[in-house]
Amino acid sequence: MIPLTIERPTKEEVEALHDFFRLVLTDTFRQEGIADKKEDLLAEIETKKNYLAMDFESNGENRYFLIAKLENLIIGSIEYGPSSPLICQMTNDELKDIKEIGTVFVHPEYQRRGVGSLLLKAIYGEMDKNRVKVFCLDSGYNHAQQVWNKKFGAPSYLRKDYWGIGNDHMIWKLNLENVR
């Protein structure tokens, strides 16, 4: 385990977080073999920027971010907030009132070192303080799906070939007590 801190982001870190989102998502698209989908990449980065802005505008009420830092370097992020429109659409609004954990990103050089697990534990604590008992999480990225399948088991919802042949979308509905 590497020594790091997990804390709320500050407004002074917004640009660094935007750069972090760009770095991690660009690497993810490369790993997934979809680096040519530039418009999708830009849209995903903008969504994460908007989520961060929602956090600051609502003081953590609409979206709640935590970041992992190694000294002054941001190496991870996580947030929770309302279920995304995609989750609502894919579940016929079954999860519309369930909080979603998202923006679970780890810097490419620090992946597979427990950073994501520490971020999850920290966000679970925040969700527990706010009486969130059930949450969901989704992924359309094959590499992330492997991680979530290992951590949480089979998804609650599976949309085969949603992103093209062999590229499914998965959604997990989880009870906070069962994952801690």
* The pairing of beta strand 99-106 with beta strand 157-159: unpaired
Instruction: Give the single-character DSSP code of 83.
Output: P
- DSSP helix/strand/coil, 25: helix
Least trusted range by pLDDT, from 29-33, 42-46, 100-104, 115-119: 29-33
pLDDT band at 2; cut points 50, 70, 90: low
5-179 is classed in which CATH architecture?
3-Layer(aba) Sandwich (3.40)
Q: Each residue of 90-104: pLDDT tens digit?
A: 999 999 999 999 999
The set of residues, in sequence order, having a beta carbon less than 8 Å from that of 76 and lying 6+ positions away, is: 4, 6, 67, 68, 105, 106, 107, 110, 115, 116, 118, 119
**Residue pLDDT, tens place only, 101-150:** 999 999 999 999 999 999 999 999 999 999 999 999 999 888 899 999 99
- Tally DSSP H helices, then E strands, for the chain: 6, 7
Q: Where are any strands of DSSP class E within 54-151?
A: 64-70, 73-82, 99-106, 134-139
What mean pLDDT is reported for the chain?
94
What ranges do the domains of the chain cover?
5-179
Residues 40/17/128/110 CA torsion (nearest 10 deg): 90
pTM across the whole model = 0.92
